[in-house]
Amino acid sequence: MTAVCSVLRIKGIEKVYSIGNNKVFALRNVDFELNKGEIVVVMGSSGSGKSTLLNILGGLDAPTKGEIFIDGLEVKDYYKEPYATEYRRNNIGFVFQSYNLLHALTVEENVALPLILKHESASVIKENTHNMLKLVGLYERRTHRSIELSGGQQQRVAVARALVTSPSILLADEPTGNLDSQTSIEILELLVEMKQKLNQSIVLVTHDPKVAAYGDRVFFFKDGRIVNEYQAEAHVPNIERTLMIMNNLQGS
């Protein structure tokens, strides 16, 4: 049996935005753990706190309260510069709905960028970039400009770029939001392949129950809190389960 190993643990995370005299509680006392080689899906209606959570995990925003542990060690002040850039470079890969590639660059240059920013040697940059491009099936297209690729191929490049530095955590914000259903399945299958081949830990935010079906665990947010969660079981169809919980939450 493989031991369950925690990559990320967050404890009592709170985020309050103050607008004049009003306070918006975007996250309230959120606790969860992400294990090595696990896909955790975060679901919830608009305004429930999903993006706030992802921004805090990614070091793009500061929590008002709470603790974050990466690989068992607390990261304090990780969201403040100069630590934030270091924290992101060493621990986090991002994939967004809109791919966010640099179209002036080739596929290979886009993927190599995080390694260049980490000042890796030319040989490490070339080897890691080529390995990732092979893994996502785009090695043959490496000299093309990213604009010449389809949406699904661009998202593959974005996944390769996010993982080329071997981050502890991949944060994916609606990664299939701009894709048709067949291409969405291909990207979700790619994420599962990265989980299996690289033992990659992934936090995936989505509105879509079909996407949530790819999670090992699914958390449901409402008004900044986790209000429901389940663990995937081979014999229970995730889509039906997710839809049932979503319907119950809408009624509550």
Residues engaged in binding ligand ATP (CB under 6 A) = 17, 19, 24, 26, 44, 46-52
DSSP of the chain, one letter per residue?
-PPP-EEEEEEEEEEEEEETTEEEEEEEEEEEEEETT-EEEEEE-TTSSHHHHHHHHTTSS--SEEEEEETTEE--STTSTTHHHHHHHHHEEEEETT----TTSBHHHHHHHHHHHTT--HHHHHHHHHHHHHHTT-GGGTTSBGGGS-HHHHHHHHHHHHHTT--SEEEEESTTTTS-HHHHHHHHHHHHHHHHHH--EEEEE-S-HHHHTT-SEEEEEETTEEEEEEE--TTS-HHHHHHHHHHHHHH-
Closest distance between ligand ATP and the C-beta of residue 20, in Å?
Answer: 11
Q: Which is nearer to ligand ATP, 11 or 222 (CB)?
A: 222
Closest distance between ligand ATP and the C-beta of residue 74, in Å?
Answer: 24
Closest distance between ligand ATP and the C-beta of residue 32, in Å?
Answer: 15
Q: Which is nearer to ligand ATP, 47 or 151 (CB)?
A: 47
Closest distance between ligand ATP and the C-beta of residue 34, in Å?
Answer: 18
Closest distance between ligand ATP and the C-beta of residue 44, in Å?
Answer: 5
